[in-house]
Every structure is written in structure tokens, then in C-alpha cells.
Amino acid sequence: MNIHRPHRLRRLFALLFATALVAAACGSDGDSGATATSECGTDTSVAMGDSVTDLTFALVAPSAKDDLAFTQSMVDSLTRLGIEPQITDGTFIVEEAAAAIRGYAEEGVDVVIAHGTQYGGSLAEIAPDFPDTSFIWGTATDTQGLDNVFAYYPEADQGGYVNGWIAAEMTDGAAMGVVGPVEAGDAVAYVNGFIAGATANGAPAPSVVYTGSFSDVALATETAQAHVDNGAQVLTGTSQSTVGAVNVAAANDIPWFGTQSNQEAWSTDLVVASQVYHWDVVLDDMIESIEGGTLGGEAMAITLQNGGLVIEINGCYGLDDSVVDGAEGIIAEIIDGTIDPT
């Protein structure tokens, strides 16, 4: 049943090859794999990879599958693994999501991915009813003691730290603005990491506004404008509402740092770097376990160390090589534990 080893090797080889190409194109050396600089003008959409498994998958997610944020990060990750799941998206109502999760399990889908923290409570009830189905749930740091549930989460403060560090390099002591949603979940981790990274690199503490909504674009827009009026030279933010903030950044020629998915599509010229969630790194391990007969019981983090968090630097922005090298250094120090980003 150990059919995916060769696939993994092939993918690793492909990844190395791609990295080498990118490195050659950008003329920079020393890419650690935790950063990737895109060549300007390349399409950032993810291509379907070679299929790594014969298992069937279903995905239940709270926002749209192409939201350029949380849900898309999972869809893209599956795409990289050559997996085309059945998808029920936009199910922000927990009870609806629970019905969908249960329905897929009843249908006999091998692996059901519950891509929403808030689905965990329902999953605790559903999973024991389907002992032969594997459930993958996140973002969550534990599996609630269920042996057919895998959990996944990002160490989002790591990428926040790197983004904050780069931002401080660029601003030279000027103000920075953060557009936050509700003060909870991964958003806080990312924002706190960003603050830690910026201040560690000598910048004044960035101004943070939590709007109180994950989805209110108007509030995110006006918040970004407030930061700009206060003299912010760099903006960042998290949640699907930040698309409004990116527009403000674009209108004022202010660089933007993204997270969750590669947000270059929103503004080609002004997105400096995005912390991208590559769930495929942990999904691959989970698939291997499932095929080996272990259906769950473990929580896995994506980190800079394991390549699940990738800082994707926008080639079009033209960040100085010295800054890129510096960021590589910071990433290396986070990886070896010298820097604690929290």
C-alpha cells in the first residue's frame, strides 16, 4: 500500500527544480525553500499536481472556494496534491456544515476535510459514528481525543514575524498599519507575530485596528484609510474583508503584506510578500498514515521548518536583494529556534 513514496520523491524533485529555476531567474542565491520569489508576470494560480493517492476526498469550508484567503489555501493545497475533492463551500452556518460533513461520511467518502475551527464541536459528535472514515479538521491544535480525526494549524505568528521584519526594513521608522478582523483565532497570532517582527527590527509598534468583523469590506477600507492618514507606510491585514484594505494600499501606493493565500492577484505591484499556507505538507503525511491504516489521532502544524508556511515574495515588487537575504536569515533563525516569534 506504500504507493506514494515515489510520488513524494517526484514532487520533491519537481519542487527543487522549480526552486532552482526561480532562483536562477531572480539571480538570488540561498533560497531556503521557505521563501519563494515569483518571477514578475507569472500566473500565481496553482496547477494540478500528479495525484498522490486513490482515496476520495470531500471538503466543507466556511467561505467561497476561491476567496484568495482561508478556504482557497486548502483548495490550492489539494490541487498541488492532484486531489479534486467534492466541495461544499460557503457553509458558515455550523449546523449546515455539520449536515454536509455527515452526508459525505454517509456517502462513503474516504477523507472528509472540515476546514473551519468552528466545525470542531459537531465533528466530535459525527466522527465516532463513522469509525472507518478519516476526518481532517482545522485550524485546531488538538484532535479532541478522536482517533479518526487529524487536526492541522498554522504557526501564523512565524510568517507574521517575517512580514513584520521585512516591513521594518522598508519603512525606516515610519508608521505601519494593521487591519484586523475580530480579535480572535489565527488573526491574533498573525498580527502579534507581525508586531513582534517589526519591533524586533527597530520599528515603532504598528498600529492595530480590529474592525469587529471578518467580512465587512467597508470597515476594512476605512480602517486602512485611517492608517494611511496617520502616516502609515506599510499595510497588512488578515481575513476576507481585507480586499478593501488592499484597494486603499493600491490607491496610495503603499506596500501590502498578505497572509493565508498569495494575494498578488489583488494588486500585482504592491503586494510585497504573502505568507502562504501550504497545507499539502501535512496533508501528505496524513494521507500516508491513512493509507497505512491510521485514520487520525494527531495534530500537525504547518511551520517555516516543515515548509508548510512559505513566504512568497512578489517578483514584481522588486524588493532589494539585501532585504530578501535578511529575511532568509530571519527565517533560518526562526527555524533553528534562535528567534521565538510569539
Partner 1 sequence: MSRLAGAFVPLGAALLAFVFGAVMILALGENPIDGLLAIIDGAFGSGERIAATAVRATPLLLVGAGITIAFRASVINIGGEGQIIAGALLSTAVALWLPDLPKIVLLPLVILAGLVGGGFWGAIPGALKAYASVNEILSTIMLNIVAVQLMNYLLRGPMIDPIEVEGTRIPQTERLTDNAALPTLIEGTRLHFGVILAIIAAVVVWVILWRTPTGFRLRAVGHNPDAARAAGMNVERNIVKALTMSGALSGLAGVVLVFGSESLRLVTDGGSAGFTGSAGFNGIVAALFGGLHPLWTIPSSFLFGSLLTGATELQRDLQIPNALAIALNGLIVLFVVSSDRARGWIKDRFGAAT
Partner 2 sequence: MSDFFTLTVLVGTLASGIRTAMPYLLAALGETVGQRSGVLNLGVDGVMLLGAFGGYYTVLQTENHWLGVLVGLAIGLGMGLVYALVTIVFHAEQGISGIGIFLFGLGFSDLLFQELVGTPRPIKPLPKVEIPLLADIPHLGPAFFQHNLLTYVAFALVPLTTWMLMKTTFGMNVRAVGENPQAADSLGVSVAQTRMGAILFGNTMAGLAGAGLSLQLAIFQHNLTNGLGFIAVALVYFGAWRPRWVLAGALLYGMVTATRLRWQSLDIIPRGASDVAAMAPAIITILALVLLASRVRGPAALTKPFSRH
* Residues lying near partner 2 in the complex (CB under 8 A): 63-64, 66-68, 72, 90, 177, 180, 182-183, 207-213, 215-219, 221-223, 225-227, 229-230, 240, 243-244, 246-247, 250-251, 265-267
If the CB atoms of residues 156 and 167 are measured against partner 1, the closer one turns out to be: 156
CB-based burial label for 89 (10 Å; 0-12, 13-18, 19+): buried
According to the binding rule CB under 8 A, does residue 340 interact with partner 1? Answer: no
The minimum distance between CB 176 and partner 2, in angstroms, equals: 11
List the single partner that 49 binds among partner 2, partner 1, none, CB under 5 to 8 Å by kind: none
The minimum distance between CB 276 and partner 2, in angstroms, equals: 15
Phi, psi of 72 (to 5 degrees): -65, -30
DSSP, residue by residue, 189-228? HHHHHHHHHHHHTTPPPPEEEE-S-SS-HHHHHHHHHHHH
List the single partner that 86 binds among partner 1, partner 2, none, CB under 5 to 8 Å by kind: partner 1
If the CB atoms of residues 197 and 296 are measured against partner 2, the closer one turns out to be: 197
Residue 305 CA neighbour count, 13 Å, CB half:
12
Question: 261: which DSSP letter?
Answer: S
Place of cell 536562477: 24
According to the binding rule CB under 8 A, does residue 141 interact with partner 1? Answer: yes
If the CB atoms of residues 139 and 240 are measured against partner 2, the closer one turns out to be: 240
Q: Which helix (H) or strand (E) holds 178?
A: strand 175-180
If the CB atoms of residues 145 and 173 are measured against partner 1, the closer one turns out to be: 145
Are 151 and 137 spatial neighbours (Cβ–Cβ below 8 Å)?
yes
The minimum distance between CB 89 and partner 2, in angstroms, equals: 9
**Cα–Cα distance list, 151 to 58, 114, 144, 164, 192 (Å):** 16, 10, 9, 28, 23
What is the contact surface with partner 1 in residues (CB under 8 A)? 62, 86-96, 98-100, 103-104, 116-118, 120-122, 124-126, 139-142, 153, 181-186, 188-189, 212-215
